[in-house]
Amino acid sequence: MLRTLLLGALIVVVPLLAACQPGGGTGAAGEQGGGSDILMSILPLVLIFVVFYFLLIRPQQKKQKALKEMLSGVKRGDDIVTTSGMIGRVIKIDRDNNLLVEVAPNVRIKFMRSAVAEIVRRPEPSRSAGDDDDNDNEVEADDEPGDAGSTPPQSGNR
Encode pLDDT of 25-72 as tens digits. Answer: 454 454 555 678 888 889 999 999 999 999 999 999 999 999 999 998
Answer with the residue of higher pLDDT: 119 or 153.
119
- The arrangement of strands across the sheet holding 107-112 comes to 107-112, 98-104, 87-93, 79-82, 116-121
pLDDT band per the 50, 70, 90 thresholds, residue 139:
very low
Going through 39-144 in order, the beta strands assigned E by DSSP cover 79-82, 87-93, 98-104, 107-112, 116-121
The Cα 84–Cα 100 span in angstroms is 15
The pLDDT of residue 126 is above 50 = yes
Q: What is the pLDDT of residue 107?
A: 95
- In the predicted structure, residue 108 carries a pLDDT above the cut 70: yes
Looking at the predicted structure, is the pLDDT value of residue 96 above 90? Answer: no
> What does the pLDDT read at residue 36?
81
92-97: long-range contacts (C-beta < 8 A, 24 or more apart)? none
Greater model confidence, 138 or 114: 114
